[in-house]
């Protein structure tokens, strides 16, 4: 682990030890690292005799919920915006897997410091360190893995239930160890330890994490069939619109379930330097997933392209942004931003 971890882990435990009523968040657009780390930490702190509340600011997408419902404490997750909670009921807010306040709430009125001390534990290198205490390990580790390390430092036993929480977090965030951002040799080691601790049926867990409904495959296929090459094939760009979902009997919300894996599949291109998926979030609101995990073209930094947008950020190999406008306008903006970041790619 990093120097920051070694320097801060004692302070982090001091904060956790001294708190009796702990609030933990699940971030907007929840993933299994967010849910797994929150529920894993909840279980550990409850064993230590603390009152713990885990909340989500929005309902967890059905597909994620289906996978996470087997995790300890899932049924007790509170659905509330943090601004609607009475923060005087808590001694400590542990903010997990969230690099800025916009990940905690969609309400722009949320500003820090809050009336309750905030302990940030995260792995996004762009984390704005908005808490009083911030443990941010910027590369090679996901939040679930950082929490596992914290338990080891403290000498705490990890239960099989907690092992499952963290294992699902690691497998999902690393995209089965493919996604370089949160993956390191430590991720493999920790996953192996968690399998042993929990006696985890890992082939089944991983199959369940990656299995998809037939509609999922059909809508994803509809999106992939629209992929087009730009910059002489150095960029591959596709779209995922409400029309793709509706064509196969799904609603607009379906896009949120499938855009990430569709973007990951685009990044399997054996030749593109960068792959982009523009996915529909509103009538004129678009999410942009950018992937640059082709090891032959490590010079491309997805987060650099994402930061060209007013709302964008992420990791070197995978980043995201949000933009307003018509699909054609957003597409042109994406291509322009790629060209501005990497003029050597030539003309779109």
Residue nearest to Mn ion (CB): 33
Q: What are phi and psi of 128, to 5 degrees?
A: -85, 5
x/- map, 274-313, Mn ion, by CB under 5 A = ----------------------------------------
Q: Please tell me whether residue 99 binds Mn ion under the rule CB under 5 A.
A: no
Task: Please pick, from the candidates 33, 145, 244, 264, the single residue that binds Mn ion as defined by CB under 5 A.
Answer: 33
Nearer to Mn ion, 168 or 274 (CB): 168
Task: Please pick, from the candidates 137, 142, 163, 334, the single residue that binds Mn ion as defined by CB under 5 A.
Answer: 142
CB of 173 to Mn ion, least distance (A): 4
- Residue whose token pair is 């943090």: 82
Task: Please pick, from the candidates 97, 244, 257, 331, the single residue that binds Mn ion as defined by CB under 5 A.
Answer: 97
Q: Of 240-279, which residues contact Mn ion (CB under 5 A)?
A: none
Nearer to Mn ion, 77 or 227 (CB): 77
Segment contacting Mn ion (CB under 5 A): 97-105, 131-139, 258-266, 308-316?
Answer: 97-105
Cβ contact 244:221 at 8 Å:
no
- C-alpha to C-alpha distance for 237 and 319, rounded to whole angstroms: 14
- C-alpha to C-alpha distance for 61 and 347, rounded to whole angstroms: 39
Query: The tokens of 162 are what?
Result: 């907690």
CB of 264 to Mn ion, least distance (A): 15
Nearer to Mn ion, 96 or 236 (CB): 96
CB of 125 to Mn ion, least distance (A): 12
# binding residues, Mn ion (CB under 5 A): 5
Nearer to Mn ion, 37 or 337 (CB): 37
Nearer to Mn ion, 142 or 162 (CB): 142
Nearer to Mn ion, 29 or 53 (CB): 29
Query: The tokens of 159 are what?
Result: 């239960």
CB of 126 to Mn ion, least distance (A): 13
**Terminal CA-CA length for the chain:** 41
Residue 200 pairs in a beta bridge with: none
Nearer to Mn ion, 15 or 141 (CB): 141
Burial class (CB in 10 A: 0-12, 13-18, 19+), 163: buried
Is residue 279 within a helix (H) or strand (E), and if so which, with residue range? Answer: strand 274-280
- Residue whose token pair is 């499938």: 258
Q: Please tell me whether residue 173 binds Mn ion under the rule CB under 5 A.
A: yes
CB of 128 to Mn ion, least distance (A): 16
- Quickly count: other Cβ atoms within 10 Å of residue 155's Cβ: 6
- C-alpha to C-alpha distance for 300 and 326, rounded to whole angstroms: 26
- C-alpha to C-alpha distance for 159 and 157, rounded to whole angstroms: 6
Q: What are phi and psi of 106, to 5 degrees?
A: -85, -5
Q: Please tell me whether residue 175 binds Mn ion under the rule CB under 5 A.
A: no
Query: The tokens of 67 are what?
Result: 């996978």
Which strands sit side by side in the sheet containing 235-240, from one edge to the other? Answer: 228-230, 235-240, 274-280, 285-291, 318-324, 311-314
Cβ contact 125:100 at 8 Å:
no
CB of 27 to Mn ion, least distance (A): 8
- Positions touching Mn ion (CB under 5 A) are 33, 97, 142-143, 173
């Amino acid at each position: 682990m990093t120097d920051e971890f070694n320097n801060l882990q004692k302070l982090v435990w001091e904060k956790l030890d001294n708190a009796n009523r702990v609030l933990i968040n699940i971030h907007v657009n929840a993933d299994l690292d967010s849910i797994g780390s929150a529920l894993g930490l909840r279980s550990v702190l409850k064993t230590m005799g603390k009152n713990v509340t885990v909340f989500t600011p929005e309902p967890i997408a059905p597909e994620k919920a289906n996978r996470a419902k087997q995790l300890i404490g899932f049924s007790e997750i509170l659905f509330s915006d943090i601004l609607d909670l009475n923060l005087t009921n808590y001694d400590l807010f542990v903010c997990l897997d969230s690099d800025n306040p916009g990940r905690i709430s969609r309400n722009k009125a949320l500003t820090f410091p809050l009336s309750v001390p905030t302990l940030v534990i995260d792995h996004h290198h762009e984390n704005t360190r908005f808490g009083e205490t911030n443990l941010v390990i910027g590369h090679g580790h996901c939040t679930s893995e950082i929490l596992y390390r914290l338990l080891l430092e403290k000498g705490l036993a990890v239960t099989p239930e907690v092992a499952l929480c963290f294992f699902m977090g690691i497998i999902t965030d690393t995209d089965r160890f493919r996604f370089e951002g949160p993956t390191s040799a430590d991720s493999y080691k920790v996953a192996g330890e968690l399998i042993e601790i929990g006696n985890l049926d890992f082939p089944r867990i991983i199959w369940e994490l990656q299995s998809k409904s037939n509609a999922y495959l059909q809508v994803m296929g509809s999106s992939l069939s629209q992929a087009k090459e730009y910059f002489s094939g150095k960029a591959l760009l596709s779209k995922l619109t409400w029309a793709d979902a509706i064509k196969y009997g799904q609603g607009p919300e379906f896009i949120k379930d499938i855009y990430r894996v569709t973007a990951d599949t685009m990044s399997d291109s054996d030749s593109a330097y960068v792959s982009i998926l523009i996915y529909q979030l509103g009538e004129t609101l678009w999410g942009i997933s950018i992937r640059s995990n082709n090891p032959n073209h490590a010079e491309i930094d997805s987060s650099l392209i994402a930061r060209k947008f007013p709302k964008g950020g992420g990791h070197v190999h995978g980043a995201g942004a949000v933009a307003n406008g018509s699909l054609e306008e957003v597409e042109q903006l994406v291509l322009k931003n790629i060209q501005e970041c990497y003029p050597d790619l030539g003309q779109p």
